[in-house]
Amino acid sequence: MPQPFPIISQQKQPQAWAITPDSHALAELAKGIWDCAVQTNQRPLVVLSTAGPLIGLRAALEQNRPKHLPSHIAFLPQVISFADWLEAAPSAWKFPKKQTDLERWLSVFVNLRKHKVLQSWFKAESESGAWGLAQAVIDACDSLSEVVVPQLQSELNDLLQTHTLDTEAWLKKVELVLDQAIAKAYIGLSRNVVDEESAVLLTFWRYLTSIGDPVIRKHLAMASHMQLVKANAEKDRDTVRPFLWVQTADPKPIEQELIDSYLCDYAQFASVVRVDLDWQSVALWPEALCGLDVEGHIAVANTQEESQIDSNIQANRQDDWRLLAARRFEELAWAATKSVESYLIAGKKNIALVAQDRLAARRARALLSRLGNSLRIRDETGWKLSTTRAAAALDSWLEVVRAPKEGPSASALLEFLQNPYFDLSHSLNQSSEVGVGLIAQLEDILIASQAKSGWETFTMAIERANSYAATNGGSPNAHLITLIQFVRKLHAGWLPPTVDCSSAYALLQKNLQETGMAQRLEKDAAGKQLLEVLNSFDLSGGIYQDVKMRLPEWLSLLKTVIEEAAYAEAGKEAQATLSILPLSSTRLRQFDAVVLVGCDEQQLPAFSEPPLFFSDTLNRYLKSSTIAAQYIQQARDLSQLLVSCNNVDLLWQSKSKSGEPLRPSAWIQRLQTKLKDWRVIDAKPETVQGQSQPIQMSVSIPDQDLAIPVTVSPSAYKALRDCPYRYYVTSLLGLRKAKEFEEGFDASLAGQTLHALLKTFFQALKTEEEKSHSPIHQGYEARRQWMIDHLMKCSEKEFERLIAGDARVMGTLRDWQKQIPSLIDWQIKREDAGWRYHDAELPIGFTLSLTDPDGVQREIRIAGRADRFDIQESDSTAAAVIDYKNQKMKKIADRAENILDDPQLLIYARAANENPIAAHLPGRSVEQAEWITLKAELDKGEDKNIRAHAVEDMPNAMAQFSEQIVKDLNGLWARKPMQAFAPDSVCQYCEARGVCRKGMW
Ligand code: SF4
């Protein structure tokens, strides 16, 4: 039976009233408030302890407005949440400036520097861990202040009464009073604190507490409200409005004391009604009915209370409470989605998804987004700003900022350049056409050259690519270098190891302006919110503006603040609304249907992270929240939810990740023992049957309109031989995978560097040989030594820039230098056999003429770049072609086995023989071809015997190759079916695998 609203008495004491927290609670409350208005003939002020039911209560007041009210009370009574009421305190302008979270964290940081005793605590923490710990310290300090500050209430009241116009002087007085109170309380508290951790915390509290803390402001606001009430009462007692306090959730004991004392004071001047929730007919478990005992433990129910619970369960049982168990996570998310869908189909417009299991709720949300704009999803669980694209974009810039002076990794650089907020044309101050394809081109170059990190490395890779383009008919792109220089210049601004807060903020803003990111973020909902969060770092004019810290500390602080910020989605009109919210937010709110996901024994009840510093006993002493209080609150919230809504689905995952069975929450199990017919439904995904055709090996016939390249490089021809389908995908369709950077040093740029330095060395050797007094003519040993020294020096020089870009390259240089003596030995042996270095890095090719099936004559150019040509001194017609391989002999031997599938050397030999002038070999023909390893396994003695591997039976191999290439190219131009066919060793690294779907057939 609902309690009637009390008859307002003149007792000067708060009166108590309680409402039943069921589906009629808000209507009952609204009627009570109107009753109060009518009885007192005044418009009451209603303050709710939590903001959740505000909108619902206003609507209920409108619906329950009594007829024929006198005009001065006909307005809706003022309903406000406690937090808003505090903010609206009179003379709030006088209050000390509110400290932001950031300022409070910085105060921890500053105190840490000042007081050695505190430092030991943070020593072991990483930067981000330290900021997390700072947050915990602040929370704990607030708990301590909550206990101490009420003792100051009368001083604060007095201070507010002094009508000094000098706010500064007033603030100083407040500060003094606070300091005195802290000093006094510190002695008392330290007697109760035994362990070292809490002792350190107390020290923190002593140093950190300031008049800008939220706890102090709260007390000042309450004192200020009270002062106004007194002033009004003195003028005209009848102008003081009746005050209704609605306690929507169980308060912490300290909060209870605070509000009780305020209500008592207020009752001296006007009517006060304290509204509580009456669990008598709503509680479904004894703990929800009985609450805590005086000691703060869960009270034990007597038999009468037990039987009350039994009757509550039977009276409130709804047929539409469903228990759904899903076996796996994905099935759970599907089941939750299906539940929501079924309610939408049934015409429900206002549905709640209670995210006891946040992951499953997130997944369900993603699945529900298929419903598009007809369903509005409001996530009240706090969607983090850090999960938005805008935050990821900023993060990509911070990754570049934190890079060492040599430069960022290529992946970090590309990630930043490819973020959608980066404005390339704005950054380069060029027209937007200039930017088209520029970043893709940069990515290609960095990947192809495996330039993994460092500004110098990137620049070198671009210069090489540009010079290659210039000599091979391509067009070098100067904007690539400009782009690297632009980012490098911005990065250079962050090189000093320490920053001060305000200049770091200014620099970051400048970066965002220069890269055009600020302008683009401004146009995006999440971006705008991100910029607002960044603005909180503007500490100019404040006491923390000059605080200095290491750059990683500042970056980590920035990240922590963004991590804490929530993203507010813009609302939109829709046919139905789904609110994703925690259980506590369902209090006194109305929903057409509720889906509660995560009702297993591990997640319901769910307790907030225990405070880092206080034990449960100390919490009790500090009159703060305890585990028992949280447990009871959740039992009450769940009772209220079940009793208030007819359609409730309770879902859980019945098997844990490790495969162990998971039972439903004990609360559900206890209800089941009383409700025998309440059975669990197995939530199984619907299975749809169908016949599928097994996939066959992929084959494609090139379309008539598909252009076939008229130049073929040795590697493209190898691809065609390895697997025609792969050639089709990569060369004809031009598809390519977004490549990841491989771990380890940039092999390719190093490979290019080795080729380049070997050419430089051999050219230098040629020049040296022409000098008659050179030491190289002074016998075998002197020649050997000169060659080794010179190649060593040459290598140091060529690698110099690479090392400047990435110091790890030093290891590669040293490995290579170990190879040099044995390579020189091989070279000398080769010279003894009459072979002399002739030329290197020579572009070379030959042309094939064929007639395609349409009778059109086609000229196909087979061309590449030969590593080196040697000539024979004893035979003026003989020459040899050499290919350097930066791989072990074993691989080279495998290559030789399949020379017809990888005929690079045969291509160069044929090209040189067909056009000796172009190959700078007039009068000679290539009859020898060899691979030389630059990575001999020295410890296995490879250097002595097997650094080289020659192509066997050259004339025969050449003849077979010539026949084969004509056949292959004829087949290609005839657009014959191109089949996916390759051994697993080839498929393993094939980037077309996702297209040919090898493994599925
Ligand atoms: S995965 Fe193998 S079969 Fe498929 S395209 Fe690549 S190489 Fe050919």
- Say if residues 404 and 605 touch (Cβ distance below 8 Å): no
- Say if residues 911 and 862 touch (Cβ distance below 8 Å): yes
Is the minimum distance from the CB of 721 to ligand 1 under 6 angstroms? no
Give the model's confidence band at 163: pLDDT under 50 very low, under 70 low, under 90 confident, else very high: low
Dump pLDDT digits (tens) for 72-92: 888 899 999 999 999 998 877
Cα dist. 429→230, 425, 435, 513 in Å? 65, 6, 10, 13
Dump pLDDT digits (tens) for 806-828: 888 888 899 999 999 999 999 99
* Residue 123 to residue 112: CA distance in whole angstroms: 11
* Residue 512 to residue 537: CA distance in whole angstroms: 14
Higher pLDDT, 494 or 214: 494
Phi-psi region of 700 (alpha: psi -120 to 50; beta: other; left: phi over 0): beta
- Say if residues 649 and 28 touch (Cβ distance below 8 Å): no
Please state the φ and ψ torsions of residue 867, each to the nearest 5 degrees.
Answer: -70, -40
- Say if residues 671 and 283 touch (Cβ distance below 8 Å): no
Lowest-confidence pick of 48-57, 600-609, 928-937? 600-609
Q: How far is the CA of 699 from the centre of ligand 1 (A)?
A: 11
Residue 745 pLDDT greater than 50, yes or no: no
The residue whose CA has the least distance to atom 7 of ligand 1 is 987
Give the model's confidence band at 677: pLDDT under 50 very low, under 70 low, under 90 confident, else very high: confident
CA nearest neighbour of 275 among 610, 552, 536, 36: 36
Residue 740 pLDDT greater than 60, yes or no: no
- Say if residues 882 and 868 touch (Cβ distance below 8 Å): yes
Q: Residue 984 CA: which ligand 1 atom is closest?
A: 2
Q: Containing H/E element for 192? A: helix 167-192
Is the minimum distance from the CB of 726 to ligand 1 under 6 angstroms? yes
Q: Mean pLDDT for the chain?
A: 87
Is the minimum distance from the CB of 987 to ligand 1 under 6 angstroms? yes
Instruction: Count Cβ atoms below 10 Å from residue 998 Cβ, excluding itself.
Output: 21
- Strand duo 576-581 + 566-567: pairing: unpaired
Q: Containing H/E element for 106? A: helix 101-114
Using a pLDDT cut of 70, give the percent of the chain over it: 91
Higher pLDDT, 15 or 217: 15
* Residue 241 to residue 270: CA distance in whole angstroms: 6
**pLDDT (mean) for 923-951:** 82
CA atoms within 13 A on the CB side of 189: 26
Q: Which residues pair with 245 in a beta bridge?
A: 47, 274
Higher pLDDT, 253 or 382: 253
Q: Residue 996 CA: which ligand 1 atom is closest?
A: 4
Is the minimum distance from the CB of 733 to ligand 1 under 6 angstroms? no
The two three-digit tokens of residue 453, written as one number? 């990190």
CA nearest neighbour of 5 among 24, 14, 18: 18
Is the minimum distance from the CB of 980 to ligand 1 under 6 angstroms? yes
The two three-digit tokens of residue 15, written as one number? 């009166």
* Residue 568 to residue 379: CA distance in whole angstroms: 8
Is the minimum distance from the CB of 718 to ligand 1 under 6 angstroms? no
Is the minimum distance from the CB of 728 to ligand 1 under 6 angstroms? no
Q: Which residues pair with 871 in a beta bridge?
A: 836, 879
Mutate to test the pocket of ligand 1, among 695, 718, 725 (most ligand atoms within 8 A of CB): 725
Is the minimum distance from the CB of 982 to ligand 1 under 6 angstroms? yes
Q: How far is the CA of 982 from the centre of ligand 1 (A)?
A: 6
Q: How far is the CA of 992 from the centre of ligand 1 (A)?
A: 6
Residue 194 pLDDT greater than 60, yes or no: no
Residue 271 pLDDT greater than 90, yes or no: yes
Total residue count of the chain as it appears in this document: 1001
The two three-digit tokens of residue 663, written as one number? 């039972």
Non-local (6+) Cβ contacts of 638 within 8 A are 284, 288, 583, 604, 667
Q: Containing H/E element for 204? A: helix 196-208
Mutate to test the pocket of ligand 1, among 699, 987, 995 (most ligand atoms within 8 A of CB): 987
Q: Which residues pair with 324 in a beta bridge?
A: 651, 681
- Say if residues 547 and 103 touch (Cβ distance below 8 Å): no
Higher pLDDT, 95 or 460: 460
Handedness of CA 719, 724, 726, 729 (dihedral sign): positive
CA nearest neighbour of 262 among 585, 45, 32: 45
Identify whether 605 is preceded by a cis peptide bond (ω within 30 of 0): yes
CA nearest neighbour of 375 among 572, 596, 594, 590: 572
Is the minimum distance from the CB of 978 to ligand 1 under 6 angstroms? no
Is the minimum distance from the CB of 993 to ligand 1 under 6 angstroms? yes
DSSP string for 647-708: -EEEEEESB-TTS-B-PBPHHHHHHHHH-TT-PEEE----------PPPPPPEE---TTSPP
Helix axes 954-973 and 714-722, enclosed angle (nearest 10) = 80
Is the minimum distance from the CB of 174 to ligand 1 under 6 angstroms? no
Give the model's confidence band at 943: pLDDT under 50 very low, under 70 low, under 90 confident, else very high: very low
- Say if residues 700 and 345 touch (Cβ distance below 8 Å): no
Dump pLDDT digits (tens) for 618-665: 666 667 778 888 999 999 999 999 999 989 999 999 988 888 889 999
Dump pLDDT digits (tens) for 886-922: 888 888 988 898 899 999 999 999 999 999 998 999 9
| AA letter at 653 | Q
Is the minimum distance from the CB of 719 to ligand 1 under 6 angstroms? no
- Say if residues 6 and 17 touch (Cβ distance below 8 Å): yes
